[in-house]
Chain A
Amino acid sequence: MGLEFLIYKAILVLIVFSITLLVATYSTYAERKIAAFLQDRIGPDRAGPFGILQPLADAVKMFMKEEMIPSVSNKALFIIGPGLCMLTACMTGVIIPWGKSINIGGTDYPMQIADVNIGILYLFGVLSIGVYGIMIGGWASNNKYSLLGAIRASSQMISYEVAMGISIIALVMVTGTLSTGEIAEQQHGWHWNVLVQPLGCLIFVICAFAETNRAPFDLPECETELVGGYHTEYSSMKLGLFLFAEYINMFVSSAVISTFYFGGYNMPLIGRWVHDPNWLAILGFVFLFMKIVGFIFFFMWVRWTLPRFRYDQLMNLGWKILIPLSILNLVLTGSWMMRHEIMAYFAK
């Protein structure tokens, strides 16, 4: 582990971080534009051509707004809340394999910050900590709406984590590894996991919606019941961080869905025309990015189509439908993998 390695990793972290922020920034713009298009409107178009400077204007507005901290709030925790939310949102990007390694001057430079052998577990760990930012922020505001929003958020995330975990276990059984890098590598050509695990993929996508608190599962910030949910008392950039964290989460979950189920950086047939491995790696990054953009669009498309669930419906869906379905998926996967042994047993 030389100095060169550390510098390379630091640069990679910086690049991934800035791409994440950039994509999240423009997701806010895309959200407004897509909402407008789906509703036969035009959307923001005043700041710059087609309004592409709108996120900048929004950011300036967020920074310039007056910072309000409720006098009865718990100040330290009130400030830690959005920070924690942002931190956990950014931490997940570490295990995404953005492409194959690039070979420069005989050395391989992997396009993944950390290919840890427990990648999926790491992802789950970070996801489960993600609740704390919302919970702390909601509680520290000392407001009933915030507290109810925070409690809704945490119970929703805990409930859907179970179904998500079980659907992922089936994926791990199929791939036989916990490392995200290996999972992406295994899906070369047409070996996409979605074809092997369609039900698991569906459950994972639904749970990803619930984990990111996106519509139709946006109950924590359900305006009709809870004013602003857990960020009712927040203003200025702290509110901005909460909102921003949601978009980063959306970006990262899109990346995770693409990596786990939709081939990651792989694209079928591309190997026929491109042979240079470095070009393949760069193209792989482009493909992954296209998939991510597609999923972000999907997230927004769903948000502007489906109405919000009621809270009991949400819990019913999570506990009574998704968890049994994911267990069924697990059993089916296991039986399929052991089919030869089972056949041999009955033949005997």
Chain B
Amino acid sequence: MITTYLFYLLTFLAIMFAIRVVSTKNPIHSVLYLVMTFFAIAGHYVLLNAQFLAAVHIIVYAGAIMVLFLFLIMLLNLNKETEPHKSVWLKTSAVVASGLLLLVLVGALKGASTIQATNTFNPNIGLIENLGKTLFNDFLLPFELSSVLLLSAMVGAVMLGKKSIK
């Protein structure tokens, strides 16, 4: 009962904040609203009994990535004066592209409503023990591969950050 209300509240908040992310002029406000959106989504994870995912979501996205974003935007000192004016051509193409994306999303959702859940939902799947076992048994290869991907990204970042490559 309470969870239903919480679900609607969190959904409302997530959508509201997401809209504010796009609609605010100030990029700092944008980032902060995005952080709020992440919190609302983390709330959804908790409702799904996936506390681990919720915590990691907050630590990684809100705590690390968004801080770095904020960092960058603060140093860039973006404001209304320095905002470049975009041409009409660019604006129209953006409208068309996002309209097409909306169409695709609506079409996909329409198709999704007919799919039935094949296996019953295990409410404990999100707990950390189960998650760990699943990750290191069923999905070991993708898990390790993704870590290699992250490692290569790190190496690439270090290479880019170096002043000169000899």
A interface with B by C-beta (< 8 Å): 74, 77, 116-118, 121-122, 124-125, 127-129, 131-132, 135-136, 139, 147, 150-151, 154-155, 158, 161, 178
Contacts and interface: CB of A to CB of B under 8 A. Distances in A.
Contacts of A124: 55, 59, 63
B64 A128 contact: yes
Contacts of A117: 51, 127-128
Contacts of A135: 67, 70-71, 74
A122 B57 CA distance: 11
Contacts of B70: 132, 135, 139, 154
Given A125-B63, A128-B59, A136-B32, A151 B71 contact: yes
B26 to A, nearest CB: 8
A151 B56 CA distance: 23
Contact of A118 (B32, B52, B71): B52
A147 B74 contact: yes
Contacts of B62: 125, 128-129
Interface in B39-88: 51-52, 55-56, 58-59, 62-64, 67-68, 70-71, 74-75
Given A117-B127, A131-B67, A178-B128, A125 B74 contact: no
Nearest to A139: B74
Interface residues of B, number: 20
Contacts of A154: 67, 70-71
B142 to A, nearest CB: 21
28 contacts: A77-B28, A77-B32, A117-B128, A118-B51, A121-B51, A124-B59, A125-B55, A125-B59, A125-B62, A127-B63, A128-B58, A128-B62, A128-B63, A128-B64, A129-B58, A131-B67, A135-B67, A135-B70, A136-B32, A139-B28, A139-B70, A139-B74, A147-B74, A154-B67, A155-B71, A158-B64, A158-B67, A158-B68
B35 interface: yes
Does more than half of chain B's interface fall in helix, strand or loop, or is it mixed?
A: helix
A122 B67 CA distance: 18
Given A118-B128, A121-B56, A122-B55, A129 B63 contact: yes
B55 A121 contact: yes
Contact of B55 (A74, A118, A139): A118
Given A117-B127, A118-B52, A158-B67, 14 more contacts: A77-B28, A118-B55, A121-B51, A121-B52, A121-B56, A125-B63, A129-B58, A129-B63, A131-B67, A132-B70, A135-B67, A139-B70, A151-B75, A155-B71
B50 to A, nearest CB: 10
Contacts of B52: 118, 121
A348 to B, nearest CB: 23
A151 B75 CA distance: 9
Contacts of B55: 118, 121-122, 124-125
Query: Which of A116, A131, A136, A150 counts the most chain B CB atoms within 10 A?
Result: A131
Nearest to B52: A118
Contacts of B75: 151
A116 B71 contact: no
A128 B56 contact: no
A56 B32 CA distance: 35
Contacts of B74: 135, 139, 147, 150-151
